[in-house]
Amino acid sequence: MSMDARTTIKEGKAILGIEFGSTRIKAVLIDQENKPIAQGAHEWENQLENGLWTYSIDAIWKGLQDCYADLQADVRKQYDTEIESLAAIGISAMMHGYMAFNDEEKILVPFRTWRNTNTGEAAAALSELFVFNIPLRWSISHLYQAILNKEEHVKDITFLTTLAGYIHWQLTGKKVLGIGDASGMLPINPDTKNYAADMVEKFDKLVAPCGFGWKLRDILPQVLMAGEDAGCLTEKGAKLLDVSGKLKAGIPLCPPEGDAGTGMVATNAVKQRTGNVSAGTSSFSMIVLEKDLSKPYEVIDMVTTPDGSPVAMVHCNNCTSDLNAWVGLFKEYQELMGMPVDMNEIYGKLYNLALEGDADCGGLISYNYISGEPVTGLAEGRPLFVRSANDKFNLANFMRAHLYGSVGVLKLGNDILFNEENVKVDRITGHGGLFKTKGVGQRILAAAINSPISVMETAGEGGAWGIALLGAYLVNNDKKLSLPDYLDEVVFAGNAGVEIAPTPEDVAGFNTYIESYKAGLAIEQAAVCNKR
């Protein structure tokens, strides 16, 4: 018989998950049935300093402490009790980036986030050296770019980690990282479940003439799999997290993970032949592979699940922002006509009307490039809506074209996986703002990638819930299940969500649309070149 939430908290049986997103730090407390029972949040923003995007160390700790205090307040308000102990804690954060420390545990240069794109020279050189696609945002790209730039601090590095790895280190004293997050620092060998030894050797040989006092292995965190011991909260760590001093030390922590891994967990997309698509301001798909791809592709990042399976990631900088801007225009029209405005109703009616449009959008095309789009080789963005005089220009086709445009780039990347690499998928789960209007975003995405798309109610719980589940997997996995089986049997218990399969007409229509889309990319390129 399950205990009530108040008793769970009082007896220290609750599990805490904290995730550092780009604009919000979120904390979720779950019970022994893995259900959220309290939460806290803290809004924050990155800063552009000396041309690089960063968050200060001070902002990191103030944000964490404020988020935890907000959680405490929610617990007091709901249950009239305090958090004094927990069954487990998990820390997650945006992946990649660069946090380099010296032997006094001082950060050597401000934290360089995943958003920085100053690493082009390094990423290209390492991709060629490793015969493996190394994205701009990966930690190894940042490290090598600093070396190419002859930055003075590099010689003093004793530890290099990600944001999640840094916070976990300060809370536990352990220099470790979950394998999913580690795969965004340096490629992982799927057989050894560790950094690729041949690439480590190549890198050390490459930088040997610089005469640094470290080798790459010396400065990287130890790689851990989901469920492995990652240390316990120290006295120092307890005070860092809870400035009120109520939280006791000794609580076990699961391996720290990146936001991609926690998204996979939260959507039950860790098993091979499953995947998930996150579609909001930006979009990305994560497809869990049965084996490595036959060759590297510049538009596909190879990372891993929190239990070490290879994952093909297609990351797109743009998704719903341009679509939202057009919906905002219709809101203005309603206001101009003196009609009451309900944004949920506007979205619902416009999205559902799109399904009545022609499967190929009547020839209309939308390029949603608010910012540059690496997948299609665009360094900058120019949102464009394109039609010819003979196209079927009506509202249904207009909205359908913008919905297609929001996942067009995602389709281009996934076509490589499904058509060229013949990757097989049994289930893909969608989450994010595109799926808020029931059934519409699902149907559009199903047509784009020619695969059934599921949406679960719990997908909205997000990465903080995902890392809390990894905490539960550490301490509540009495049957010693694999992570995919634990999620299937214990957390989701057969709930696969609501699935929509693609129709042949929709697939054929999207394929026609995407051919016109590809042909029209020259228009987008010309618009970018026109510096106005």
Q: Which of 361, 359, 378, 360 is nearest to 369 (CA)?
A: 378
pLDDT digits (tens, 9 = 90+) for 228-239: 999 999 999 999
Look up the pTM and report it: 0.88
Beta carbons within 10 angstroms of residue 285's beta carbon: 27
Mean pLDDT across 187-200: 96
DSSP string, 79-145: HS------SEEEEEE----BEEE-TTS-BSSPPBPTT--TTHHHHHHHHHHHTS---TTSHHHHHHH
Least confident window among 6-20, 186-200, 279-293, 463-477:
279-293
* Tokens describing residue 1: 């018989």
Which pLDDT tens digit goes with each residue over 135-192?
A: 989 999 999 999 999 999 999 999 999 999 999 999 999 999 999 999 999 999 989 9
Q: What's residue 386's pLDDT?
A: 97
Q: Is the pLDDT of residue 461 over 70?
A: no
- Residue 292: pLDDT band (50, 70, 90) is confident
267-318+418-500 domain in CATH 2.130.10.10?
no
Task: State CA 99 to chain mean position distance.
Answer: 19
Flag the least confident range among 77-91, 327-341, 342-356, 366-380: 366-380
Domains 96-161+186-219 and 267-318+418-500 fall in the same CATH topology: yes
Region 203-228 average pLDDT:
98
419: its two tokens: 């058509």
CATH fold, domain 96-161+186-219, is: Nucleotidyltransferase; domain 5 (3.30.420)
Contacts of 26 (CB under 8 A, 6+ apart): 18, 19, 39, 40, 41, 67, 462, 463, 464
How confident is residue 127, by pLDDT bands cut at 50, 70 and 90? Answer: very high
For residues 100 and 108, is the Cβ–Cβ distance under 8 A?
yes
- Report the C-alpha gap between 450 and 444 in whole angstroms: 10
DSSP reduced 3-state for 129: helix
pLDDT at 481 over 70: yes
Taking the domains of the chain in order of start, what are their residue ranges? 96-161+186-219, 267-318+418-500, 321-412+504-529
For residues 216-237, average pLDDT: 98
**pLDDT value at position 436?**
86
Residue 262's closest CA among 15, 21, 14?
Answer: 21
**Which residue would you say has higher pLDDT here, 62 or 432?**
62
pLDDT at 363: 97
- Mean per-residue pLDDT, 125-142: 95
β-strand partners of 427 = 274
Q: Across all residues in the chain, what is the average pLDDT?
A: 94
Asked if 193 and 225 touch (Cβ cutoff 8 Å), the reply is yes
For residue 528, pLDDT beyond 60: yes
Query: Which pLDDT score is estimated for 1?
Result: 37
